[in-house]
Structure 1
């Protein structure tokens, strides 16, 4: 291929390939969407192959783009890490933590308050993730993910075994003596659970109960818990997220073990920022 393409073209490709959005890449690099699109087209002309398939509202990588992306991303990571190791950080950057809103509210918030009291000089930035695709090592020092683990390119620390249990408003909980009392009530479903209501009902020996209940499905657990707290039905949630909540009650003792769990996750880099390491250690200690 001869001489390497300009760095700005490679940077535009790396950002667009990571975010699968020319607009997001432009926001990240401080230029317009049109500028990113132009740089990518110039890069495609230079290498002689298309790197993206352009859809009406989205992008996907071509096979060539998919094959090239890891090398380009790794090259930028090495430049960044090498610069940091030789010259150090030139500006104070906040420690970025990315996770879902329900984990932020129910698990992370009290631990972050305690951390800030102990280390007020450490700046922290929270970023919300809703969908699994929102996660990834780029742009976050620490993530709290839910799943079976096994992600590539990251260090992981399990937050422990997880169990799922029904919860509802305290008033409704007083009327539910056994799982069979759920008949005629509303089951609140959150998308994305490996084990959902069907798994819990089967463990409670009332597998047919789902057909005897009303149903509301939400794309996030925050909403199911809000609905449950306001008497809108019974939600299934993680016991770990019920530590400090007083607006919800567990009507039944039965919980089911999930093969998924919460994980602390961070990019597997040679250099770890001192403040990020401090936050990581605090969260591991307070699991």
Structure 2
């Protein structure tokens, strides 16, 4: 990734963006660009396209989805954050907003976005390869303590949220992890099923089929409560650890969005999340619909940033 180019483009574009653009009375009067900072078919793209029809109906406008991939989300987020904060450009944030900043790969801060809503959440799950000795957290911990071995843990990409979560999990659990990055979640799952790594840290949607087939055993979840996709998997808090971390997806705009436009979006999102087709799509994807707005959302963003940014800084290469 060309960090210097990305940072320079952000700096140049930011100089031309006004602090606040006032709302038009007839908003929206034109199409709204919805930037997905990843390629088609991924979790963020699926989320945006599944909620798009309900949002268009609620807003009374047209959302044009643009997939702008590159740099693990850096290129698309850079495009979004340097756009005019007039309500005609939005994006879908997730934990990459924090990890990209911690890795130093972008020229913007997570605070440069106006977070409108968190819509869905999905925990990270530690799942181990098929092993008669590793049936739950206690048996895994006892075996590792007895053997003195490291647990080789696969995840999706250096500096990804699954990488950062793996580091956080190892620290919180007091386990010695050997971190093994892969080019995507499916490659990590294949390696674990083949016995090339001991475990993976991924989202439920990426490991559900392997768990259901008995090739992997889900040990613990990082969610605040059990995931509807994997209700049998205990959370870190249930095991006595003070850790809660979810992958999440929502809607954000460049900083300086008019409060009146933001309120229109909040109203539209509250309606859209009740749409039966969107709710079914979220369920199929293993995500839980748990919207947050306003002060609760701000607190959630701050907590996640304070957890993930320092860890991302520590894994910087």
TM-score, with structure 1 as normaliser: 0.49
Higher-Rg member (1/2)? 1
